[in-house]
Structures are given as C-alpha cells and as structure tokens.
Copies of this chain bind each other. A is one copy, B any other.
Amino acid sequence: MKITADSKKRYYNDPIYGIIQFPFPELQQIIDHVYLQRLRRITQCGLSHYVYPGANHTRFHHTLGVAHLMSEAIKSLRSKGVDISDEEYLGACVAALIHDLGHGPYSHALENRIIPMDHERLSILMARQMNQELDGIMESGIDILSYKHPKIFLSQLISSQLDVDRLDYLVRDSFYTGVSEGSIGFQRIIQTLNVSDNRLVVEEKAVSSIEQYLVSRHIMYSQVYMHKTVLALEQMLILLVNRMKYLISEGTEMDLTPALTSLLSANSSNLEYDILIDQYGKLDDFDFMFAIKMGVMHSDRVFAFLCSSILNRKIFRIEWIFSSEKRYLLHSKRQRIQRSLGVNDDESAFLMRSGEESSTSYLHDEEIEILSVDKERKPLSSFCNISFSREMYTRHFICFPRI
C-alpha cells in the first residue's frame, strides 16, 4: 500500500518565532522524511522535564527552529550584499535540517552509548542515505555541514562558536524550561552578522549581545544541562543501558523493541554501519520508555530497580567528590547498596557510577570574530569586558540510589 501525504503548502506555528515558512519546496520533502519525523519522538533535553516540567520540546521542533534562523541569517547577510546564490541558500537550510539527524533517544544522555559514534557523524551518515532517496537534493547541504563547502561562513553558520544551532537551543530551552535568565537577543545577533574574508563575523555594535549570549550559555549549562538532577538521570540511563547489554549478553529475555535489541547486542568491534543505521533510524525515546515500563516487573531485580526508579522518578543521588577519595567512596557505597537493596557484589556494580563533568563554556582556542567599526576582523576577547574563569574545571562525582 502506498501512503499519500497531504500536499498543501505548510507553515509552522512556533511559540517563539511566530509563523515559520520555508523558502524552498525541497525542504518540505526533507522534513517529511521518516528520519526527520523520527525527531518528533526524541525530546530535546532528554529527561530534564523531570526537573523542568515544561521541557518536553522535541529535536524536531528545534530542527525547524534552526532552519528558520538559518533562513533569517541568510536574508540578513544578503541584505548586506554578501553573495549567496539560491542554491547555497537552499544548501544552508538543508544543513540546518539535518544537523541533528544523528541524535538518539534522550538526545545527549546516551550519545556514544548505543552506537559508539558521536551524533554529528551519525547525522552525516543518515543524511547521505536520505540524499540517495531524494535524488541528491541534499548534496550541498551535506557539504556545508561537513565543512567541505568553499564558502566557509555557511559552515560556520551551522556549526561554530556562534551558530544558529546554539542560538536556537539556548532560546528554545530557556523558553520551555522557564529559565528566563537564559534568553538571548537572537534577533539582534542575526541582524548584525556579516562576512569578512569568507569568515562569519559579528558587527562591533553587537558585542554586548554576544557577551549576553555567552553568559546565557554559561547559565543554561549550570541551571539545565549540567543540573545535578539531570546529571543523575543521565547516569541512570547509562546504568540501564549497561544492565540491558549485560542481560542480552547473558541471554536473558527482556521486552525490547527489535531496533533496541539489535543495537544493544551489536558487537562494537565489528559494526556494520549500514544495518545499524537502519535500526538506529527507528529508535527513539519510545523504545526506551517501553523497555522501562515493561522492565518494572522483570525478574532481574537490578534491571527492575533501575526501570522502576526512572519510571517513578526516584532519582539517584549525585555526590561531588575529590578524585582521590573515589576508590574508597565507591567501595563503601557499594557495600551499603548491597546491604540495603539485598543485591550481590556483581549486581551492585550496575547500580552506581563514578564520573566527571567538565565546564564547557566559551573556549578561547576558537574565538568568535568581531568586525570592528573600522572594518577589521578581531577576536571577541579584544572587546569583551566579561571573562569566564579560564581554567577548565572538572568535577568528580559518584551517583548511587538514595538508600
């Protein structure tokens, strides 16, 4: 049976940008592809809606937003005389639409854990597959996303220290979490973008907006992306994946979707990407939530405990530790877990984790560039009055059930 889509021209209502309409019909074809539609079932911020109940927005919505901002950025650059052909315009929008294709369930939480590959590379692989189906219309979009296009500023627009991806996720995550401190003046930044020597620059008059953007990013990291409870939830998902992989290797039956089964049982030393990507293209939050809901009653008590804890929001504890005390603390907590939960030594290993978390705000090796009033390209730091503690700090933690 062939399935026929509705055909009228579509526009999207966005609570943030108002009405979004795209300039090329080809973009609608891409949006309607199952790979894009799959992003409707992946939350942008993983399980952080357990902390911020409004944060149920999806990768799909973010993707539309990025493509919209890209379109606005191109219009802004064109209005300043930057030469961008229609084909390049289309390519830039395609790059925006596909930049997050490779995200899996709960977005960043399980990155590299289901397929040992970061989402950027997966995005490219999936986009190549789509491109074949869609007669090559995505070619230059893929080039732009992978920095192979001669107009480097187009690549910078989608992936650099100041790109439309970051602009959208900051404004969107701030909007949906209600962390108003994270909101940014995206309109002003876009209107002050320019190009100099094939490089993306921001006009000097927007230095304040860039400062505020950096601070917002910093705040969103500390309030949302690296929020202690969100971090704990991520550890719980990782523990869950670990236990599921173990049970699969032991031959224990679980109620898992076929896609999840085949991905978790793949031997990572010997991956056939074509097959895996096909499965990966079917995987989303729902595969996990199904496994979790079913797992609650599973006979493996570790698995059941993890599932039940996630399902019913019994969130593990994070303790910041000194790296020197890690061994000792892991040992003592582990014994306590065994006593409290009645599990054995092997099992307890699947109920706690240590790890580290690093600050990741603005780094100085790849600077945002400013177009000064006298038309010179200079690094942001020569204008900026705000600085961020330069030393990358790393915090060690252990994560374990509240017992």
A54 adjacent to B387 (CB under 8 Å) = no
Interface residues on A, range: 35 or more
B175 adjacent to A15 (CB under 8 Å) = yes
B37 adjacent to A312 (CB under 8 Å) = yes
Which of A108-116, A148-156, A177-185 contacts its partner? A177-185
B212 adjacent to A216 (CB under 8 Å) = yes
* Cα distance, A26 to B311, chains bound together (Å): 21
Residues of chain B lying within 8 A (CB to CB) of residue A385: 218, 222, 359, 361, 388-389
Q: Is A314 an interface residue (CB 8 A)?
A: yes
Q: Which of A6-61 contact B (CB under 8 A)?
A: 6, 12-16, 18-19, 32, 34, 37, 40-41, 43, 49-50, 52-54, 56-58, 60-61
Residues of chain B lying within 8 A (CB to CB) of residue A16: 54, 178
Q: Which residue of B lies closest to A316 (CB)?
A: B6
* Cα distance, A37 to B386, chains bound together (Å): 38
- Contacts known (A218-B385, A342-B1); A6 close to B185, Cβ less than 8 A: no
A58 adjacent to B53 (CB under 8 Å) = yes
Q: How far is the CB of A308 from chain B (nearest CB, A)?
A: 6
Q: Is A242 an interface residue (CB 8 A)?
A: no
Q: Is A89 an interface residue (CB 8 A)?
A: no
Interface string of A331-363 (1 = CB under 8 A from B): 000000000011000000000000000010100
Residues of chain B lying within 8 A (CB to CB) of residue A286: 286, 289-290, 293
Q: Is A78 an interface residue (CB 8 A)?
A: no
Residues of chain B lying within 8 A (CB to CB) of residue A395: none
B305 adjacent to A13 (CB under 8 Å) = no
Residues of chain B lying within 8 A (CB to CB) of residue A240: none
Q: Is A401 an interface residue (CB 8 A)?
A: yes
B15 adjacent to A54 (CB under 8 Å) = yes
* Cα distance, A309 to B386, chains bound together (Å): 36
In the complex, which of the residues B12, B32, B58, B177 contacts A313, with contact meaning CB atoms closer than 8 Å?
Answer: B32
Q: Is A245 an interface residue (CB 8 A)?
A: no
Q: Is A268 an interface residue (CB 8 A)?
A: no
Q: Is A378 an interface residue (CB 8 A)?
A: no
In the complex, which of the residues B5, B57, B184, B402 contacts A181, with contact meaning CB atoms closer than 8 Å?
Answer: B184
- Contacts known (A183-B180, A305-B1, A389-B385); A14 close to B188, Cβ less than 8 A: no
B177 adjacent to A181 (CB under 8 Å) = no
Q: Which residue of B lies closest to A57 (CB)?
A: B56
Q: Which of A203-238 contact B (CB under 8 A)?
A: 207-209, 211-212, 215-216, 218-219, 222-223, 229
What are 21 A-B interface contacts by the 8 Å CB criterion? Answer: A3-B314, A6-B317, A6-B402, A13-B52, A13-B54, A15-B54, A15-B176, A15-B177, A18-B178, A32-B313, A41-B289, A53-B58, A56-B57, A181-B188, A208-B218, A211-B219, A212-B216, A218-B386, A257-B290, A282-B293, A287-B293
* Beyond A40-B53, A43-B56, A386-B386, 6 extra complex contacts between A and B, CB < 8 Å: A15-B176, A37-B311, A40-B313, A181-B185, A181-B212, A208-B218
